[in-house]
């Protein structure tokens, strides 16, 4: 295959996005080792170590120039502020979902998320939603509606994860700064509330009272968090949101399998019906992507 293909922006974006989503799919195994720590405190640890990891990366890559210029750009600062808040909310709900045995619901949220990506792309970025995508959207809505009516519960964790990450991805299409600068300001936004939460809660959960293994796992929260986010941001800038949505299905599929076989969560028939409609929508969504891709190559 032509070497130019492997250097193309589309291939770079696709590869970075796929690796990020596969990594996010298996990451519950890592967080499961830290479930003894309260969700809010664990999110604080995640923000603090992520900030210092980004800070080191910025200086190591010699990208500290331009940070002050970005700080003077009110539009970019506002966008990055919103991105930081959204990703912080997403992290908290994700850790809380895993800690309260809602792994399957978290995977449900990330199945729904590409649908929200497509809707946001259609409404705000004028991306076309085909007939198959509309049918896929309807099937997913039926699945969520069945869960609400027959299981008697709203998938709060799933919807919160889906909505927060969809808006986060959409905002990243508007951000003009490079990935590392963007990550720096996002973590900076979350740093103060994270430190305050740490100071309030840490009296009952002293970091230095943890075992060496736990301390190491907590410290690894920085690279574990930031590296896939960098890959995702690279992909979003290079691909359509609809394409990102198709690739994203790799993540909840891995998480779903982990929920059943690793975390041993019960998988009842009503829950099977919910996922059946979701999966049917996913199949149509992916099929539409292949059809449109083939048409584009022919064109």
Q: Which of 96, 122, 126 is nearest to 109 (CA)?
A: 96
What is the reported pLDDT for 38? 84
What is the reported pLDDT for 150? 73
What is the reported pLDDT for 220? 93
| pLDDT tens per residue, range 194-241 | 998 888 876 555 665 667 788 899 999 999 998 998 888 888 778 877
To the nearest 10 degrees (0 to 180), the angle between helices 156-172 and 241-248 is 140
**Positions in the chain short of pLDDT 70:** 1-7, 151-152, 202-210, 242, 293, 296-297, 299
What is the reported pLDDT for 117? 78
What is the reported pLDDT for 282? 78
- Residue 85, CA distances (Å) to 126, 141, 146, 186, 194 in order: 26, 27, 31, 8, 11
Token reading at 262: 């690793």
What is the reported pLDDT for 105? 85
Task: Provide the terminal-to-terminal Cα distance of the chain, rounded to the nearest Å.
Answer: 20
Q: Residue 33 has what DSSP assignment?
A: G
| pTM listed for this prediction | 0.79
What is the reported pLDDT for 205? 59
242's CB contacts (< 8 A; 6+ apart) are 117, 118, 121, 127, 133, 289
Token reading at 18: 């796929």
């Amino acid at each position: 295959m032509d070497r130019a293909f492997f250097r193309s922006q589309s291939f770079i974006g696709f590869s970075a996005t796929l690796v990020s989503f596969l990594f996010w799919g298996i990451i519950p195994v890592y967080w499961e080792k830290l479930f003894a720590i309260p969700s809010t405190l664990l999110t604080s640890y995640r923000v603090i170590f992520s900030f210092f990891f980004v800070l080191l990366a910025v200086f190591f890559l010699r990208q500290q120039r331009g940070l002050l210029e970005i700080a003077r750009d009110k539009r970019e600062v506002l966008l990055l502020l919103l991105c930081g808040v959204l990703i912080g909310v997403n992290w908290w709900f994700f850790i809380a979902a895993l800690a309260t045995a809602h792994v399957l619901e978290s995977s449900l949220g990330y199945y729904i998320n590409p649908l929200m990506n497509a809707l946001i792309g259609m409404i705000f970025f004028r991306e076309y939603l085909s007939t198959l995508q509309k049918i896929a959207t309807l099937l997913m809505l039926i699945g969520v509606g069945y869960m609400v009516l027959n299981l008697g519960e709203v998938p709060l964790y799933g919807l919160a994860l889906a909505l927060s990450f969809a808006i986060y991805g959409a905002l990243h299409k508007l951000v003009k700064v490079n990935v590392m600068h963007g990550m720096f300001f996002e973590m900076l936004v979350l740093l103060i509330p994270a430190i305050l939460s740490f100071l309030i809660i840490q009296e009952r959960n002293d970091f230095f009272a943890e075992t060496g293994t736990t301390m190491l796992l907590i410290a690894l929260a920085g690279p574990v968090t930031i590296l896939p986010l960098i890959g995702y941001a690279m992909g979003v800038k290079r691909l359509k949101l609809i394409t990102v949505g198709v690739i994203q299905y790799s993540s909840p599929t891995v998480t779903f399998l982990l929920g059943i076989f690793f975390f041993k969560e019960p998988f009842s028939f009503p829950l099977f019906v919910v996922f059946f409609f979701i999966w049917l929508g996913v199949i149509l969504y992916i099929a539409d992507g292949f059809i449109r891709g083939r048409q584009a190559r022919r064109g």
